[in-house]
Amino acid sequence: MIQVNHVVKSFDGFKALDGLDMHVKGGSIYGLVGPNGAGKSTIIRHITGIYRPDSGSVVVDGVSVYENPQIKSRIAWIPDELYYFVSASTRDMMKFYRGIYPQFDDKRYQALREAFPAVDEKAPIRRLSKGMQKQSAFWLALCCNPDILVLDEPVDGLDPVMRRQVWSLLMNDVSQRGTTVLVSSHNLRELEDVCDHVGILSHGKVLLERSLSELQDNILKMQVVFQETEMPKMPEEMNVLHVTKVGRIHTLIIRGNMEEIKAQIATYNPILMEALPLSLEEIFIYELGGEDYAVRDIVL
């Protein structure tokens, strides 16, 4: 549904996006993860038609998003830093969006009041707490009945109950209406629960882009105890991303097929060998380790 083709964007000589390619399937929840400054917000602003790429293209259903009201009317965006007109209340903004978005649903607005009972719809949004403002943003965005919902750090500031409430509403839209959700977040544990596809960004490029299950199948954690104290040299073709040792237990992060890796390690006759799945957070950390982005042991 969303296709980002080799997008380049520079700011004062700094390449924020460096030939980024990305593909989001319709009806999926796509998690965009990456370190700070990787270009997540920048690509989101391209997908929402705000920024014009220096080169490359951003298309939705085969049509360019930039300066395309028809496509943009199908997209709702909740930015990481919300903006509302000075002294505008949720109701004021509802009236504004109602006049702008053709699919805006008044009934939904009334119905969603129950989902966000803490939001005073007559109070100026800027006077609300950060969490309340986020709730107001979700309320308004969902009423636009978007085909594509773009969320930048969406649940930041929401309490656990409201997070669950919001995700529940989103999942419901995805299942009922086939809404495509593109979500950028640093909360990987949360993304792991909701996303079916993930793209990892680094230095303005997508490092890898897979379904979550594919991602988890393609990288695994092996805990091994060998006959010898020291770990024998692994074969060249085995893509070992990371190795740690606690006592005699060696923990290896390896990219590849689980069965093949197991068979290869088995040739060393280990005393103990166990394959464990990786969390999204671990995948993120180990994938980016190869990009010179890893947790460093710094002695202060």
Q: Which residues contact 84 (CB under 8 A, 6 or more apart)?
A: 93, 125, 126, 133
Nearer Cβ to other proteins (75/174): 75
Print the binding letters for residues 17-56 with other proteins: x by CB under 8 A, - otherwise: ----------------------------x--xxxxx----
**Which has the closest alpha carbon to 6: 14, 15, 169?**
15
Answer for which of 2, 20, 22, 75 binds other proteins (CB under 8 A) is 75
Shortest CB 28 distance to other proteins, Å = 21
Shortest CB 86 distance to other proteins, Å = 7
Answer for which of 58, 89, 101, 206 binds other proteins (CB under 8 A) is 101
Residue 128 lies near other proteins (rule: CB under 8 A): no
Which uninterrupted H or E stretch holds 112? Answer: helix 106-112
Residue 145 lies near other proteins (rule: CB under 8 A): no
Q: Where are the beta strands (DSSP E) in the chain?
A: 2-11, 14-24, 29-33, 55-60, 63-64, 75-78, 148-152, 180-184, 197-202, 205-211, 219-225, 239-246, 249-255, 272-276
Answer for which of 26, 69, 178, 277 binds other proteins (CB under 8 A) is 69
Nearer Cβ to other proteins (15/262): 15
Shortest CB 30 distance to other proteins, Å = 18
**Which has the closest alpha carbon to 187: 137, 153, 152, 149?**
153
Token reading at 100: 């702008």
Backbone φ and ψ for 158, nearest 5 degrees, come out as: -90, 145
Which uninterrupted H or E stretch holds 95? Answer: helix 90-100
- Choose one: 19-27, 91-99, 180-188, 226-234; the region binding other proteins (CB under 8 A): 91-99
Binding residues for other proteins (CB under 8 A): 11, 45, 48-52, 67, 69-73, 75, 77, 79, 81-86, 96, 98-102
